[in-house]
Structure 1
Amino acid sequence: MNHDDSTGLAAFTFDLTADESRRRAEVVAGLGEHWDPVAALSGEDEAYALLYSGLDAEQQRTYDMLVAAGVLPGEGPGRAAPH
């Protein structure tokens, strides 16, 4: 810890690397050994496609505007088509 006499404050740093590694390990352990990330992503894509399917013309314009503005993700890798 360094002390800065001009401000009277002490510089303090804390490395969270070990904590973050432990947290991530606990998350993966909590998911269990039968968790399938490919199936989970596929399920998310299916849910996304259902969420934005069957839009009327006005809803579709709003959706397209939000995608163009970057508010919603558009079609692409890992993302199902909304139509």
Structure 2
Amino acid sequence: MTDHHFAYDLTMDEARRRLAVVAALGDDFDPVRALEQEELAYDMLYSGLDAEQQRIYDHLVHAGILPDREQRRIA
């Protein structure tokens, strides 16, 4: 069996992908606002947890699986 070695430069494909992403975002995309909305969504997701949910959430934060949202607020 013959080994086939080839190289493919992904530079143009990556440039095309990035251009498509920027075009899809549109002219009115505000990255700061998007991050603020994402933070709000996480606040809503992790609010109002019952005792068992809070225990699991705390365990996941302690294990490093979820970020410590309280630490980020302090910074």
Q: TM-score range by the shorter chain?
A: 0.7 to 0.9
- AA matched with 2:21: V
Equivalence map 1:1-83=2 (5 Å): 8-75=2-69, 76-77=71-72
For normalisation by structure 2, the TM-score amounts to 0.82
Structure 2 residue ranges without an equivalent (≥5): none
For normalisation by structure 1, the TM-score amounts to 0.75
Structure 1 residue ranges without an equivalent (≥5): 1-6
The CA RMSD measured in Å over matched residues stands at: 1.9
CA offsets 1:51-78 (integer angstroms, 9 cap, x no match)? 000112211110011122232222254x
Larger relative strand fraction: 1
Structure whose CA Rg is larger: 1
Measured in 1, the distance between the counterparts of 2:35 and 2:47 equals 18
Say which structure, 1 or 2, has more relative contact order (CA 8 Å, 6+ apart): 1
- AA matched with 2:60: L
| Identity level (%) | 57
Larger relative helix fraction: 2
